[in-house]
């Protein structure tokens, strides 16, 4: 049927989660993605999406001006939390990008729910 060496399943101790595999890469943005819920809180993960890092500035997408206003007030706390988790100074600033298209499914779901 096949070479038994190539068809063996890995032992449980050899299998790693995606989180474990990605966290070993050492990319600051991946580290932020993996820790995002701890950084901004569970409720805010639905309204703030980290997009990229540009010259020590984290770009975060938000769906509307109300979220932008709240997020802007939490900017320093977010930076502090990221650098605390990373134990570095990878992020010095945050830029918020208003982009409703990244949140369109959430908006459609809320509108559908309200119509019921």
Residue 44: is its pLDDT beyond 50? yes
Of 12-21, 28-37, 45-54, 100-109, which one has max mean pLDDT? 45-54
The most distant pair of C-alpha atoms in the chain lies apart, rounded to whole Å, by 62
pLDDT of residue 111: 43
In eight-state DSSP terms, residue 55 is T
| pTM confidence score | 0.69
| Mean per-residue pLDDT, 63-86 | 92
Of 19, 46, 48, nearest to 35 by C-alpha is 19
> Cβ distance 62 to 44 under 8 Å?
no
pLDDT at 39 over 60: yes
- pLDDT at position 114 is 45
Higher pLDDT, 111 or 12: 12
Q: What is the mean pLDDT of residues 77-88?
A: 86
pLDDT at residue 21 above 70? no
CA distance to 67, 69, 72, 95, per residue, from 98 (Å):
9, 11, 12, 10
Predicted pLDDT at 8: 64
Domains observed in the chain: 11-115 (3.30.300.180)
Burial environment of residue 59 by CB neighbours within 10 A (0 to 12, 13 to 18, 19 or more): middle
Cα separation, 23 vs 79, whole angstroms: 19
Distance in angstroms (rounded) separating the CA atoms of residues 42 and 49: 12
């Amino acid at each position: 049927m096949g070479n038994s060496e190539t068809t063996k399943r890995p032992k449980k101790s050899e299998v790693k989660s995606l989180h474990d595999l990605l966290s070993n890469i050492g990319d600051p943005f991946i580290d932020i993605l993996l820790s995002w819920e701890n950084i901004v809180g569970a409720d805010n993960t639905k309204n703030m999406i980290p997009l990229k890092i540009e010259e020590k500035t984290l770009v975060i997408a938000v769906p509307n001006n109300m979220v932008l206003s709240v997020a802007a007030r939490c900017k320093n706390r977010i930076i502090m939390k990221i650098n605390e988790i990373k134990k570095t100074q990878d992020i010095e600033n945050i830029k918020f990008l208003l982009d409703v298209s990244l949140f369109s499914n959430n908006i459609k779901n809320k509108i559908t729910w309200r119509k019921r």
